[in-house]
Amino acid sequence: MSKTKRLIEIMITVNAKRKFTARELAEEFNVSYRTILRDLDELSELGVPLYSEVGADGGYYVLNGRMLPPVLLKESEAIALYFAFHSLQFLGALPFETEVGYVLKKLYNYLPGDAKLRINTMKDRIVFWNPSRVQTANELDIILNAAVDQFIVTIQYDSHKGIKERMIQPIGLYSHNGFWYCPAYCFLREEIRLFRADRIKKAVHTDKKRRKLPYQSIMEWIELSESEVSNPVTFLVDLTREGVRRAMSELDLERHVQRREDGTGWIEMSIPESELTYFVDLVWNFGSEAHVLGPKEAIASMKRKLETLLEKYK
**Mind giving me the DSSP string for 98-163?**
HHHHHHHHHHHHHS-HHHHHHHHHHHTT--------S---TTHHHHHHHHHHT--EEEEEEETTEE
Between these two residues, 135 and 5, which has the higher pLDDT value?
5
Cβ proximity of 53 and 59 under 8 Å: yes
Confidence of residue 240 (pLDDT cuts 50, 70, 90): very high
Confidence of residue 97 (pLDDT cuts 50, 70, 90): low
Mean of the pLDDT values across residues 258-274? 92
Mean of the pLDDT values across residues 42-54? 80
Between these two residues, 178 and 152, which has the higher pLDDT value?
152
Cβ proximity of 248 and 234 under 8 Å: no
Look at residue 214 in the predicted model and tell me its pLDDT.
87
Confidence of residue 67 (pLDDT cuts 50, 70, 90): low
Count Cβ atoms below 10 Å from residue 164 Cβ, excluding itself.
Answer: 11
Predicted confidence (pLDDT) at residue 113 exceeds the cutoff of 70:
yes
Between these two residues, 156 and 96, which has the higher pLDDT value?
156
Look at residue 184 in the predicted model and tell me its pLDDT.
94
CA atoms 237, 242, 248, 250: torsion sign: negative
Q: Which stretch of DSSP H or E encloses residue 188?
A: none
Confidence of residue 259 (pLDDT cuts 50, 70, 90): very high
Mean of the pLDDT values across residues 201-218? 90
Look at residue 243 in the predicted model and tell me its pLDDT.
96
Name the packing angle between helices 3-17 and 33-46 (round to 10°): 80
CA distance 26 to 67: 21
Average confidence score pLDDT of the chain: 86
Between these two residues, 176 and 28, which has the higher pLDDT value?
28
In degrees and rounded to multiples of 5, residue 122 shows phi and psi of -65, -35
